[in-house]
Amino acid sequence: MSGARATATPRLGSQRAPGRPLPTADPAWSADPYADALRAGRGPLFLRRTDGWLLPLDVERWCAEPDPADLDVLGRCEGAVLDVGCGPGRLVAALAARGRRALGIDVSEAAVALTVRRGGRALRASVFDPLPGTGRWDTALLMDGNIGIGGDPAALLHRMGRLLTPDGLLLVETVPYPDVDERLTVQLTAPHTTPGTPFPWARLSTPALLSRARADGWRVADRWSTDTRTFVALRAPTTKGGPGSD
């Protein structure tokens, strides 16, 4: 796996048992223009909906040092931390600098390479792949809209419950507007480029996330906001499904 580095975090768990199919991470995130924007450290970069609506992506913030809202999230982390969709690694690197065990995963080779360059540990993988430490992570992060990965928040939450320890902590960044609950088809695009391959995505406000999480047995530990960002802390179900439940 190009750009990845070995990790001292929990070792590879068992393969997923046959069962319902899981979403897959779209290869658009591993190609241009996303990789170009990460390497440059700036946008503009957008998610483009099929009706032409554009969602700006905050590449500059992702590539900067953690801001006060990020640092608050990092201060809530417990034990070994898995950052899902780690991007260029600002959070993984900050955790490593604090002496915390942390692993970032991302489908983008550029993101993994940048995370490693910043001093973090990272693996090129989808959250739906077999991963190190399955069932033994104390904390997982879904920041920067990553609750949208795969376009199926219920399936993603179920997967996160399998990755975490029973009663493990999931920290999620939500859309900072009420009543947002969307499953979309989008493309990555930048000015003067051809939009990439369409892929599924989702956007959830805090109320929408809480509704799905409670239905899957998660407990709400906290919810908070800054001027422009909103977050939820969830506790994983204390019991996991049997074989084939993924």
Which residue range is the domain that position 160 belongs to? 27-235
Give a yes or no: residue 18 inside a domain. Answer: no
Domain total in the chain: 1
Distance of CA 21 to the CA centre of its chain: 19
What is the reported pLDDT for 17? 35
Beta partners for residue 222, in sequence order: 233
CATH number for the domain spanning 204: value is: 3.40.50.150
Asked if the structure places residue 219 within a domain, the reply is yes
Q: Residue 73: what pLDDT?
A: 98
Question: Are the beta carbons of 107 and 129 closer than 8 angstroms?
Answer: no
Separation between Cα atoms, residue 222 and residue 244, nearest integer Å: 31
Predicted local distance difference test score (pLDDT) of residue 150? 96
| Residue 114: how many other CB atoms lie within 10 Å | 27
Structural domain contains residue 173: yes
Q: Given this model, what pLDDT does residue 91 score?
A: 98
Q: Which residues of the chain have pLDDT under 70?
A: 1-31, 240-246
Asked, for residue 58, whether it belongs to a domain, the answer is yes
Q: What is the pLDDT of residue 192?
A: 86
Task: Identify whether the C-beta of residue 59 lies closer than 8 Å to the C-beta of residue 85.
Answer: no
Residue 106 contacts residue 122 (beta carbons within 8 Å) = yes
Residue 16 lies in a domain: no
**CA separation for the pair 68, 74 (Å, rounded):** 10
Contact present, 145 and 203 (Cβ < 8 Å): yes
Residue 39: inside a domain: yes
pTM above 0.75, yes or no: yes
> pLDDT value at position 239?
79
